[in-house]
């Protein structure tokens, strides 16, 4: 769908997506109809199809993008200022709290099951989410290096990728078992690895 031509149109589309996200979280993707979304958002059928001409699947992809953005927003402001050990600890707690609050229901995962993970649009959303998340972790590690807290020899991109992979694995296990132990272990081990790099940096001075 082309971009909404006016600020009002963009605001209306954003309101529909946010309202749809609320309904989908409450009722689940499988049990939510377009009529439910129209009722919640005060949108007519013609208006809904004006913004989402391909119907429910297009709307679900828009909500998936909205939910993906929330994954990063829920980690702020900590994710954006990982320049001290205290800030890393606060970010770690924010991640654990977010996923413990979410429990075994992942809105993003449910949306992808409905529209199909293999669809180019769905893959693009996940790819962009992971890219931004890893990029912000790497930026935080570089901030530690700039502050002399971590060795400049640390492979930042590889370490950020490994930490993100650990988080995703921990979240997957938590959704299956209801236990956040693996998630907290992945986070703690990742930060301990950074602290070990900090010790290396200190020993060289």
Question: Which token pair is 138?
Answer: 């790497």
If you write DSSP's letter for every residue of 188-205 in order, what string do you get?
HHHHHHHHHHHHHHHHT-
pLDDT at 188: 98
Q: What is the pLDDT of residue 108?
A: 85
Mean pLDDT of 143-165: 96
User: How much is the mean pLDDT over the chain?
Assistant: 90
Radius of gyration of the chain (CA): 20
The pLDDT of residue 2 is 47
Q: What is the mean pLDDT of residues 43-58?
A: 91
Residue 28, φ and ψ in degrees, nearest 5: 90, 150
DSSP one-letter string for the chain: -PPPSSHHHHHHHHHHHHHHHHHHHHH-GGG--HHHHHHHHT--HHHHHHH-TTTHHHHHHHHHHHHHHHHHHTTTTGGGG--SHHHHHHHHHHHHHHHHHHTT--HHHHHHHHH-TTSHHHHHHHHHHHHHHHHHHHHHHHHHHHTTSS-TTS-HHHHHHHHHHHHHHHHHHHHHHS--HHHHHHHHHHHHHHHHHHHHHHHT-
**pLDDT of 201 over the 80 cut:** no
Output the pLDDT for position 199. Answer: 61
In sequence order, what are the residues at sequence separation of 6 or more whose Cβ sits closer than 8 angstroms to the Cβ of residue 17? 59, 62, 63, 66
Give the mean model confidence (pLDDT) for residues 70-83: 96
Report the percentage of the chain scoring pLDDT > 90: 72
Max avg pLDDT among 26-40, 77-91, 111-125, 188-202: 77-91
pLDDT in tens, 113-142: 777 766 788 889 999 999 999 999 999 999
Would you state the pLDDT for residue 1?
44
CB atoms within 10 A of CB 116: 12
- Mean of the pLDDT values across residues 77-86? 96
Tokens of 135: 């990029």
Mean pLDDT value of segment 162-186: 95
pLDDT digits (tens, 9 = 90+) for 1-30: 445 468 888 999 999 999 999 999 888 888
Q: Is 54 exposed, middle or buried (0-12, 13-18, 19+ CB in 10 A)?
A: exposed
Residue in this structure with the two tokens 């200022």, named with its chain if needed: 81
């Amino acid at each position: 769908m082309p971009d909404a031509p006016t600020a009002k149109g963009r605001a209306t589309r954003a309101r529909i997506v946010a309202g749809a996200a609320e309904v989908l979280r409450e009722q689940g993707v499988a049990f939510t109809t377009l009529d439910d979304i129209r009722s919640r958002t005060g949108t007519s059928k013609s208006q809904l199809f004006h913004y989402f001409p391909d119907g429910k699947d297009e709307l679900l992809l828009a909500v998936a993008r909205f939910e993906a953005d929330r994954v990063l927003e829920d980690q702020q402001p900590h994710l954006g200022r990982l320049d001290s050990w205290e800030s890393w600890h606060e970010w770690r707690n924010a991640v654990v709290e977010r996923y413990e609050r979410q429990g075994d229901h992942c809105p993003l995962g449910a949306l992808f099951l409905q529209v199909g993970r293999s669809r180019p649009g769905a893959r693009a959303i996940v790819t962009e989410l992971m890219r931004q998340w890893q990029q912000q972790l790497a930026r935080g590690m570089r901030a530690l290096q700039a502050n002399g807290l971590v060795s400049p020899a640390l492979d930042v991109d590889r370490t950020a990728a490994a930490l993100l992979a650990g988080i995703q694995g921990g979240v997957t296990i938590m959704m299956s078992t209801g236990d956040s132990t693996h998630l907290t272990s992945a986070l703690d081990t990742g930060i301990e690895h950074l602290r070990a790099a900090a010790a290396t940096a200190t020993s060289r001075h």
